[in-house]
Amino acid sequence: MKITLQWLRRYVDFNGTPEDLAERLTMLGLEVEGVQRTGAEFDGVVVAQVITRDPHPNADKLSVCRVNDGQGERIIVCGAHNFQAGDKVPLILPGHALPARRGEPPYTIKVGKIRGIESHGMMCSPSELGLSGDAEGLLILPPTAPVGQPFAEFLGRSGQDVVFDLEVTPNRPDLNSVIGIAREISAATGQPLRLPETTLAEDPDSRAADGVAVRIEDPDLCPRYTARLIRGVKIGPSPDWLRRLLELVGLRSISNVVDVTNFVMLETGQPLHAFDYRLISRAAGEAGQEGLPTIVVRRARPGEKIATLDGQERSLTTDMLLIADEQRAIALAGVMGGLNSEINDRTADVLLESAYFKPTSIRRTSKLLDLRSDASYRYERGADIGIADWASRRAAQLILETAGGRLASGVVDAYPRPAAPRHVSVRFARTDALLGIPIPAAEQVGHLRRLGLEPMAAGGSETTPEAAGIATVQIPSFRVDLKEEVDLIEEIGRLHGVDRIPATPPRGALGAHPHDAVHDDLAAARRLLCGLGLSETQGQTLISDALAARVLPPEEAGSIVRLGNPLSSDMNVLRPSLTAGLLDALRRNINRQESDLALFEIGRVFRLREAAPADERHLGLALTGRRHQPFWSGADRSQTLDLYDLKGILEEFLDLFGVRGYSYARRAGAHPLFLESAQIVQGKQVLGEIGQLLPAAARQLDLRDAVLVAELSMDLLLARRNASKQFRPLPAFPSVRRDVAMVAPESLTHEAALGAIRKARPTHLEAVELFDVFRGGQVPAGHKSMAYALTYRHPERTLTDAEVNAIHEKLVASLKQDLPVQVREG
């Protein structure tokens, strides 16, 4: 909402600078988003007269003009065509700036050569001056304009003004009006509010009620409709003060009558509409007589259409409220007028509508038609049902002033069920308890009074509200936001000043919530992964269905959770896995020449489970590129990462995080994403998956090196985490190591070998370490040599060689029996 300082001052005095006012309004809850001084905008612009106009010697489309600026002559090179010698035009002198356009810096005019001829200023078009009108040609001023006069003075705009741009919160529709804001300032400062007098010169010979009838068919959606009639107006441009005011606050001047309705809407917050009275058809009267032109307020009929003022034809639904006559729709109630009854140059008689429509109805209509107007904006937030007639009188008065005509006496005011006044009570002690400061009862009452909330005598008794500790106030019709006690407490707090409420040091109960520990578990996981050299990412929750499908086996594509109203196909589903985002992060980095990457994310993923969307926290890891940080020497420095790197990271992480007893189940058969992969399982529960991306899939993402990916259910890891620690005494006696090397077929897994060792239950075995896997040489094809180091230790004494040898030999014998291996002795 834009208002100007001068406009505001018509209704309330304010002693202080515009900045003071901005601060005051902001602290009242009316945030000032911009303060712009006007009047200085035409600095350096004067009325000038073109003396000669000649073609530019070097440019077809330009002319070279001698121009009198009132002080003397200057040469101006000009690109416009709509003028001739003798015309008077606005001229901006070098060194001065044109009014800035929204979002652009001001443009300063300089002396400069244009195609070889020096130009000393610029003749201006209306749009260059920020005025409404034709952008094509110069603004041609009337011949009477005095040459040399400052342009602002010529426009009658020498008085400076300040435009405030205010953010009005949706609960305060009353502040979408200058009077509403003045009322707020009056309440805050104690300066009286001055409302304009609306004494009307009514034509005693004609009555509105004899000229128009109003029939409300849907009083639920339109509780009140008033109509006034002004005959014999002359439609024309608005007077300067009106044009200027509307332009300053960002509205286009249209014609005197329409401008008045807009002015009064801005002044009072009450939307008004003017119809051409003669275009409203008459009802069929009794006994063949013609009835009165009749306003019918009704819902649209099935399939009904209306052409609105913006020239669009709108298809209506039966929820939408219309203003109609007996034959057709003439306006979309509270949203926009109809073309068929619009004020036009030939309009002589005006029917002035001032009504109240239900916010929900207007909002629904406006949303369904995607049509928003200043009127719908105000109605959908809640207009003031009490002001409808006053605003109509105010507009009638101004129409008579600006367009002439005769006002039919009286008003047709269809208001079948006048709203009963609402009452709300506030307990002063409750105010103190909520705000945290004692505000004396008399002061609270004072704040309420200033807001026009006069406390009523409690039940006719003699007790004052102060003594009773409670005030009951009648809510003015414009304060639709005041519904209950806490709303009044807010008002008292606002006028008292939030800054006067002292901050109290934190105190009170300790919080409790089961997630608190989870938050720490997640933080611990992040710390471990960072320590392992992975950087944390945060991917988009919303991704494309194509990317989502790429990371899922085809049979799971149906489990993707889709948006009903996506913004674009790039973001139309909820991520089913973190791998999608991690791969995207790898791709993005590689494209920016960052090729050595180790990333993880902990975040939620979404899948349909039994047809209902469900979320789950996951952990995703992705690696690609070189194993080691860049170094300047060494044969292994350019080695790239492989699956064992990722597996090592994962194992270290799970060990330290406290997840044990899991194993890997190699996936047999083809997988849409992985070249090789395995499920990470714990008992029957699949914790996640680890694998290497198919080279083809990697190439699609511009990834050249092996891409290693793992994704696990973080929720499962959290559930199975055992982070408890137990001290074990450090061994006091030395250990003894014995090695065993076995030539085994390729199909024998490490896990099977370990299993066989465990099964043999060698006494005093402390640890088993696989220290070499070797192929080739004397190892036959299809086989591998696996070398294990076994550590034996007795907790209470030193083992002898003989003891260890006996245990170890028994183990070797058992392995030979249980595994398809040849043990290499020695």
Partner 1 sequence: MPALIDQIEPLKQAALAQFQAAEDMAALDQARSQFLGAHGQFTALMKQLGALPKEEKPAAGKQINQAKGELEAALAARRSELELAAVLPKDPTDFTLPGRRRGLGCSHPLTQVIEDIVRSFRKLGFVVADGPEIEDDYHCFDALNTPADHPARDTQDTFYLDHPTPRLLLRTHTSSVQIRVMEKQAPPIRIIVPGRVYRRDNADATHNPTFQQIEGLYVDRGVTVGDLKGTVEFVFRELLGADTRIRFRPHYFSYTEPSFEIDFANATVRKMGKAWLEIAGCGMVHPQVFVNVGYDPEQWTGWAFGFGIERIAMLRYGVNDIRLFYENDQRFLRQF
Binding to partner 1 in span 23-52, by CB under 8 A: 26-29, 31
What is the footprint of partner 1 within residues 604-663 (CB under 8 A)?
604, 606, 612-613, 615, 628-629, 631-632
Rounded-to-integer distance, Cα 260 and Cα 266, Å: 10
Q: Which of 75, 283, 434, 656 binds partner 1 (CB under 8 A)?
A: 434
Q: How far lies 521's CA from each of 527, 538, 715, in Å?
A: 10, 18, 11
**Hey, which residues does 623 pair with through a beta bridge?**
598, 708
Q: Which one, 569 or 663, has the nearer CB to partner 1? A: 569
**What is the pairing mode between strands 597-609 and 535-536?**
parallel
**Closest CB to partner 1 among 588 and 797?**
588
Whether the Cβ atoms of residue 252 and residue 132 lie closer than 8 Å to each other? yes
Which position among 51, 201, 486, 546 is part of the footprint of partner 1 (CB under 8 A)?
486
Rounded Cα gap, residues 663 and 654, in angstroms: 12
Residue 587 beta carbon to partner 1: minimum distance, rounded to whole angstroms: 10
Q: Which stretch binds partner 1 (CB under 8 A): 300-308, 462-470, 599-607, 680-688?
A: 599-607
H/E stretch holding 16: none
What's the token pair of residue 456? 């009523």
Is 171 a binding residue for partner 1 by CB under 8 A? The answer is: yes
Q: Please answer whether residues 674 and 667 qualify as being in contact, where contact means their C-beta atoms are separated by less than 8 angstroms.
A: yes
Binding part of the chain for partner 1, among 262-270, 285-293, 330-338, 562-570 by CB under 8 A, reads 562-570
* Binding-site size, partner 1 (CB under 8 A): 93
Residue 812: in which H helix or E strand, if any?
A: helix 801-818
Token pair of 614, please?
């469900």
How far apart are the C-alpha atoms of 677 and 666, rounded to whole Å? 6
Q: How many residues does the chain have?
A: 826
**Residues 327-386 close enough to bind partner 1 by CB under 8 A:** 359-360, 363-364, 367, 380
Q: Which of 530, 557, 665, 719 binds partner 1 (CB under 8 A)?
A: 530
The answer to whether residues 601 and 539 touch, using CB atoms and an 8 Å cutoff, is yes
335 near 365, Cβ under 8 Å? Answer: yes
How far apart CA 41 and CA 615 sit, in angstroms, is 58
Of 25 and 229, nearer to partner 1 (C-beta) is: 25
Q: Which two tokens stand for residue 203?
A: 């034509």
- The crossing angle, in degrees rounded to 10, of helices 750-760 and 801-818 is 130
Residue selected from 95, 237, 533, 648 as contacting partner 1 according to rule CB under 8 A: 533
With tokens 């050249």, the residue in question is 704
Residue of the chain from 186, 347, 365, 537 that contacts partner 1 (CB under 8 A)? 537
Dihedral, CA of residue 588, residue 594, residue 600 and residue 603, to nearest 10: -30
Q: Is 531 in the site for partner 1 (CB under 8 A)?
A: yes
Contact track, partner 1, 77-116, x by CB under 8 A = ----------------------------------------
Q: Using the rule CB under 8 A, which residue among 100, 201, 501, 754 binds partner 1?
A: 501
Q: Look at residues 353, 286, 297 and name the one whose alpha carbon lies nearest to residue 325.
A: 297
Q: Which is nearer to partner 1, 307 or 608 (CB)?
A: 608
CB of 605 to partner 1, least distance (A): 11
Q: Which residues pair with 408 in a beta bridge?
A: 203
The CB-of-174 to partner 1 minimum distance in angstroms stands at 13
Q: How far is the CB of 509 from partner 1 (least distance, A)?
A: 4
Exactly one of 146, 239, 436, 440 binds partner 1 (CB under 8 A); which one? Answer: 436
Query: Whole-angstrom Cα distance, residue 621 to residue 583?
Result: 10
Is the Cβ of residue 165 or residue 615 nearer to partner 1 in the bound state?
615
CB of 522 to partner 1, least distance (A): 9
Contact 292, 276 (CB under 8 A): no
User: In the block, which residue shows the tokens 């006034």?
Assistant: 228
Query: Which segment (205-213, 226-234, 331-339, 430-438) binds partner 1 by CB under 8 A?
Result: 430-438
Per CB under 8 A, does 812 bind partner 1?
no
The rounded distance, in Å, linking the Cα atoms of 777 and 594 is: 40
Q: Closest CB to partner 1 among 225 and 377?
A: 377
Stretch that binds partner 1, among 125-133, 445-453, 525-533, 719-727 (CB under 8 A): 525-533
Query: Which of residues 567, 635, 670, 730 is near partner 1 by CB under 8 A?
Result: 567
Minimum CB distance to partner 1, residue 33 (Å): 11
Contact predicate 597/624, CB 8 Å? yes
**Residue among 153, 319, 454, 536 that touches partner 1 (CB under 8 A):** 536
Handedness of CA 117, 122, 128, 134 (dihedral sign): negative
* Least spacing, CB of residue 573 vs partner 1, in Å: 9
Q: Report, in Å, the least distance between residue 500 CB and partner 1.
A: 11
